[in-house]
Amino acid sequence: MHIANYIGGEWVEGDGAWQQDVNPSRPRHMIAEYRESSRRLAGQAVEAANRAWEAWSSTPAPTRGRLLLAVHARLAAHRERYVDLMVQEQGKTRPEAEGEFQKGLNLVEFFAGEGFRLNGETIPSESPKTLTYTLRQSVGPVAVITPWNFPFAIPLWKISPALVAGNPVVFKPASYTPAIAAQLVSDFSEAGLPAGVLNLILGSGREVGESVAADERIHAVSFTGSNPVGRRLAEILAGRPVKVTMEMGGKNAVVVTPSADLDLAAGGIVQGAYGAAGQRCTATSRVFVHEEVKDALVERLVRHVEGIVVGPSDDPRVTMGPLISADQRDQCLVYVAEAAEAGAQVVYGGRALPRDGYFLEPTLVTVDDSRLRLVQEEIFGPVLALLTYRSLSEAIEAVNQVPYGLSAAIYSRDLLETQLFIQRVAVGMVHVNNPTIGGEAQMPFGGMKGSGLGPREMGHEGTLFFTETKTVFLDYSGQPRVSRIY
Ligand X SMILES: O=CCCC(=O)C(=O)O
Name the residues annotated as catalytic. 247
**Torsion angles phi and psi, residue 60, rounded to 5:** -55, 140
435 binds, among ligand NAD, ligand X, none (CB under 5 to 8 A by kind): none
Residues near 90 by Cβ (< 8 Å), separated by ≥ 6? 24, 97, 148, 149, 151, 176, 177, 180, 324
438 binds, among ligand X, ligand NAD, none (CB under 5 to 8 A by kind): ligand X
248 binds ligand X (CB under 6 A): no
Burial 197-216 (b: 16+ CB within 10 A, else e): bbbbbbbebebbbbbbbbbe
Rounded Cα–Cα distance for residues 212 and 142 (Å): 9
Looking only at residues 119 through 178 of this chain, which bind ligand X when binding is defined by CB under 6 A?
149-150
Number of residues binding to ligand X, judged by CB under 6 A: 8
439 binds, among ligand NAD, ligand X, none (CB under 5 to 8 A by kind): ligand X
Of residues 61 and 254, the one with the C-beta less far from ligand NAD? 254
Of residues 125 and 331, the one with the C-beta less far from ligand X? 331
Rounded Cα–Cα distance for residues 307 and 317 (Å): 11
437 binds, among ligand X, ligand NAD, none (CB under 5 to 8 A by kind): ligand X
Minimum distance between the CB of residue 333 and ligand NAD, rounded to whole angstroms? 17
Nearest to 65 by CA among 108, 119, 121: 108
3-state SS, residue 105: helix
CB 138 within 8 A of CB 466: yes
Nearest to 101 by CA among 34, 168, 187: 187
381 binds, among ligand X, ligand NAD, none (CB under 5 to 8 A by kind): none
Binding pattern for the stretch 409-448 against ligand X, x by CB under 6 A and - elsewhere: ----------------------------xxx---------
Rounded Cα–Cα distance for residues 148 and 34 (Å): 16
CB 455 within 8 A of CB 468: no
Kind and range of the H or E element at 199?
strand 198-200
Q: Which amino acid is at 367?
A: V
Binding pattern for the stretch 277-296 against ligand X, x by CB under 6 A and - elsewhere: ---xxx--------------
Q: Which amino acid is at 398?
A: A
Of residues 168 and 275, the one with the C-beta less far from ligand X? 275
Number of other CB atoms surrounding residue 423 within 10 Å: 9
44 binds ligand X (CB under 6 A): no
Minimum distance between the CB of residue 348 and ligand NAD, rounded to whole angstroms? 23
Minimum distance between the CB of residue 442 and ligand X, rounded to whole angstroms? 14
Number of other CB atoms surrounding residue 251 within 10 Å: 28
Of residues 335 and 380, the one with the C-beta less far from ligand X? 380
The footprint of ligand NAD (CB under 6 A) covers 145-150, 154, 172-175, 205-206, 209-210, 213, 224-226, 229, 232-233, 247-250, 281, 378, 380, 406, 451
Q: Using CB atoms, what's the residue nearest to ligand NAD?
A: 205
Residues near ligand X, by CB under 6 A? 149-150, 280-282, 437-439
